[in-house]
A and B are shown apart, each in its own frame.
Chain A
Amino acid sequence: MYLDPDKRVDLATAASYVHDGHMIALGGGLSARLPMAMVRELIRQGRRDLHVVGSAHSMDVDLLIAAGALAICEESYVGFEQDLGLAPAYRRAAETGTITVKESCCVTILTQLRAAEMGLPFLPVRGIKGTDMRRLHPEYAETTCPFTGEVLVAVPPLKPDVAIIHAPVGDAFGNLFMEQPYVLDEHFAGASKSVIATVEKIVPTEELHDRGVVIPGYFVQAIAEVPFGAHPASCYPIYSYDRAHMSTYVQAAAKPESADGYVADWVNVPGGEDEYRNKVGAESLARLTQWSESIDQWKGLFS
């Protein structure tokens, strides 16, 4: 438990809690609430050999791979759905063997996090038998139910070294409010050794009480305020996802040279996140925050 009353740090300090070789869990999922500013900062700091675990993700994982920061990918999905397709860097790294693919299943990951939260040595799942998933996971075993005799697959606890979670608001203690879907974030917080949070805005605790706390601050080791810290993913209720930027990334990531170009142009920039936001442009960012003005405005962001 992390009990310091004030855990506010800057982004670079927060990122320093993640070490080479760590198992990390990235919050959010698909196009929502991905901790992109922290992902960019880890790349800036040259982090290597990370092992990422989680459910369905997209640009957060792909960008870590494109920048050479990832060694093991244990997500249930990495991609840009039907809209923008397969994840280019993930696909290339998996096909050329430069990362270890330990693809998993949402239920399995959830069950493993629950085992960690409960301090248990394993939990069973009913699925997996008959599929090829165990070829990717020699660590799974079988167990026989002492009551029914049913044979189930036993999976070990998953205890990430650091969970990296982005939320719209939080307080100095690290209490976090977020909108649904929470995805696995609550379980990441409970199962991980540490949580590093980024938020759009740090607010007084009384203000946070009014909105409700989803992740309690006692799980959180450090909190950094980073506006547009999920961009180009969404961070509702503040902003929608930036489909055009995601598309730019997917096109760039299609080839190693242009993927390097994206990292050089958008990530490894001297001014860090300030310069990133400047490059995206105040007008573009403002447009993403205007989703709630009308249905046409909202729909127009995706046309």
Chain B
Amino acid sequence: MSSYTFDEWYVIRLARTISDREVVFHGFASPCAQVAMHVAKRTHAPNMMLIEGAMYAINPDPPFIPPTSNDSSLKRGAAYSMRFEEFFDAAIRGDVDRMFVSGGQIDMYGNTNVTAVGPLERPKVKLGGGGGGCNISATIKQLTLWTTRHRSGRTVVAECDFITDIGHRTPAGTRDELDYTGGGPQCLVSELGVFDYDSDGRMRLQELWPDVTLEQVREATGFEFAVADEVVTVAPPTQAELDVLRVIDPLGIRRGEFDPREMEREFDLVGAGV
């Protein structure tokens, strides 16, 4: 019997947000999303176009995922690497189907803050910054949001202190009112559950991890969120997905995103839909 850890299941759930034949991008500092894209490419989405983070390499076959997103190992096997502007042009004209977005804060409409927590003039925490997200979150067709820090109670909040990347609506209006051509966040995958967004663009719980209760999610969330009529347990990973994940991320780069206590969550493969 094969057992697996939460970080593995989590990355595989992220991978399942990708459909075959999508053009998909992750940003820098995003190891879970990065590993998830390679898992998807090697399992259920062989014809996706994988654009490798800060290398802009198309469908590379890296020998391992390094701890930085612009190491040359990440373009190995790629027949072509886009120039910086080729990727961003594709993203703003609407040729990129999906991007992974996270943030120090994520609000109920899926806006994210990667700029500063607290007052802008004297932030409590100056975060690193958003890369290209401020513009391309407006035009990429679908966004997969993810966070591994939902449980902290500080991440999924009623309002972001600063909106860096755009969700479904901001105080300035909806995506339609802002003439934004992308569809916005399709889902949020957290270490507590999986959410989609209702017709008003509000976060709605759809799936729970088997060791998490609805009450725990409510306690960790800064607003009242909708709950689907039937909340299901996240589908377990297959052995094939686990095998691929362990090959592509032998250094365990994905684990750097988690609080150490999440690493204590272990599961076994009983009931997995292989």
A-side residues, CB < 8 A to B, are: 29-32, 55-56, 75-79, 81-83, 86-87, 90-91, 94-97, 101, 103, 105-108, 110, 125-133, 135-136, 150-151, 179-184, 186-187, 234, 236-237, 240-241, 243, 295, 298-299, 302-303
- The answer to whether A29 touches B70 (Cβ under 8 A) is yes
- The answer to whether B88 touches A106 (Cβ under 8 A) is yes
Which of A150, A182, A184, A234 is in CB contact (< 8 Å) with B71? A234
Q: A55-B131, A81-B68 are in contact. List 20 more A-B contacts (CB 8 A).
A: A29-B70, A31-B68, A32-B71, A75-B129, A78-B129, A81-B67, A81-B69, A82-B30, A82-B31, A83-B253, A91-B126, A103-B130, A125-B92, A126-B92, A133-B164, A136-B120, A180-B83, A187-B84, A236-B72, A302-B71
Q: In the complex, A298 Cα to B181 Cα: how many Å?
A: 42
- The answer to whether A86 touches B126 (Cβ under 8 A) is yes
Which of A96, A126, A243 is in CB contact (< 8 Å) with B138? A126
The stretch that binds A, out of B8-16, B171-179, B192-200, B204-212, is B171-179
Min CB–CB distance A117 → chain B (angstroms): 11
Q: In the complex, A2 Cα to B69 Cα: how many Å?
A: 35
Min CB–CB distance B123 → chain A (angstroms): 6
Q: In the complex, A303 Cα to B19 Cα: how many Å?
A: 32
B142 partner residues in chain A, CB cutoff 8 A: none
- The answer to whether A108 touches B134 (Cβ under 8 A) is yes
Nearest 9 A/B pairs, CB to CB: A127-B135, A79-B128, A106-B132, A94-B126, A107-B135, A77-B129, A105-B134, A83-B67, A81-B29
B151 partner residues in chain A, CB cutoff 8 A: none
Instruction: Show 11 A/B contacts (Cβ-Cβ < 8 Å), sorted by A.
Output: A78-B129, A82-B253, A83-B256, A105-B130, A105-B135, A106-B131, A107-B132, A131-B134, A181-B70, A184-B84, A302-B71
- The answer to whether A77 touches B126 (Cβ under 8 A) is no
A240 partner residues in chain B, CB cutoff 8 A: 71-72
- The answer to whether B129 touches A151 (Cβ under 8 A) is no
- The answer to whether B84 touches A130 (Cβ under 8 A) is no
**B243 sits at the interface (CB 8 A):** no
Which of B66, B85, B127, B170 is in CB contact (< 8 Å) with A110? B85
A108 partner residues in chain B, CB cutoff 8 A: 134-135
A234 partner residues in chain B, CB cutoff 8 A: 71-72
Min CB–CB distance B160 → chain A (angstroms): 8
- The answer to whether A299 touches B170 (Cβ under 8 A) is no
Residue of B nearest to A303 (CB): B251
B100 partner residues in chain A, CB cutoff 8 A: none
Residue of A nearest to B172 (CB): A130
B-side residues, CB < 8 A to A, are: 28-31, 54-57, 63-64, 66-73, 75, 81, 83-85, 88, 91-92, 115-116, 120-139, 162-166, 170, 172-173, 178-181, 250-251, 253, 256-257
- The answer to whether A30 touches B69 (Cβ under 8 A) is yes
Q: In the complex, A135 Cα to B121 Cα: how many Å?
A: 10
A295 partner residues in chain B, CB cutoff 8 A: 63-64
Residue of A nearest to B83 (CB): A182
B126 partner residues in chain A, CB cutoff 8 A: 86, 90-91, 94-95, 101
Q: Given that A81-B29, A126-B181 are contacting pairs, would A132 and B56 also be in contact in the complex, using a CB cutoff of 8 Å?
A: no
How many pairs of A and B residues are in contact by the CB < 8 Å rule?
Answer: 198
Q: In the complex, A103 Cα to B127 Cα: how many Å?
A: 10
Min CB–CB distance A94 → chain B (angstroms): 4
A183 partner residues in chain B, CB cutoff 8 A: 84
- The answer to whether B28 touches A180 (Cβ under 8 A) is no
B132 partner residues in chain A, CB cutoff 8 A: 55, 76, 105-107
Q: Given that A86-B128, A150-B179 are contacting pairs, would A110 and B166 also be in contact in the complex, using a CB cutoff of 8 Å?
A: no
- The answer to whether B70 touches A132 (Cβ under 8 A) is no
Q: In the complex, A125 Cα to B127 Cα: how many Å?
A: 24
Q: In the complex, A181 Cα to B72 Cα: how many Å?
A: 9
Residue of A nearest to B102 (CB): A82
- The answer to whether B135 touches A130 (Cβ under 8 A) is no
- The answer to whether B88 touches A110 (Cβ under 8 A) is yes
Residue of B nearest to A135 (CB): B120
Q: Which of B54, B172, B251 has the most CB of A within 10 A?
A: B54
- The answer to whether A110 touches B131 (Cβ under 8 A) is no
- The answer to whether B129 touches A103 (Cβ under 8 A) is yes
Min CB–CB distance B254 → chain A (angstroms): 9
B123 partner residues in chain A, CB cutoff 8 A: 94-95
- The answer to whether A180 touches B166 (Cβ under 8 A) is no
Which of A79, A105, A181 is in CB contact (< 8 Å) with B54? A181
- The answer to whether A131 touches B54 (Cβ under 8 A) is no
- The answer to whether A298 touches B84 (Cβ under 8 A) is no
Residue of A nearest to B30 (CB): A82
B29 partner residues in chain A, CB cutoff 8 A: 77, 79, 81-82
A77 partner residues in chain B, CB cutoff 8 A: 28-29, 128-131
B30 partner residues in chain A, CB cutoff 8 A: 82
B81 partner residues in chain A, CB cutoff 8 A: 180-181
- The answer to whether B251 touches A182 (Cβ under 8 A) is no
Q: In the complex, A278 Cα to B28 Cα: how many Å?
A: 32
- The answer to whether A107 touches B71 (Cβ under 8 A) is no
Residue of B nearest to A186 (CB): B83
Min CB–CB distance A62 → chain B (angstroms): 11
Q: In the complex, A180 Cα to B81 Cα: how many Å?
A: 7
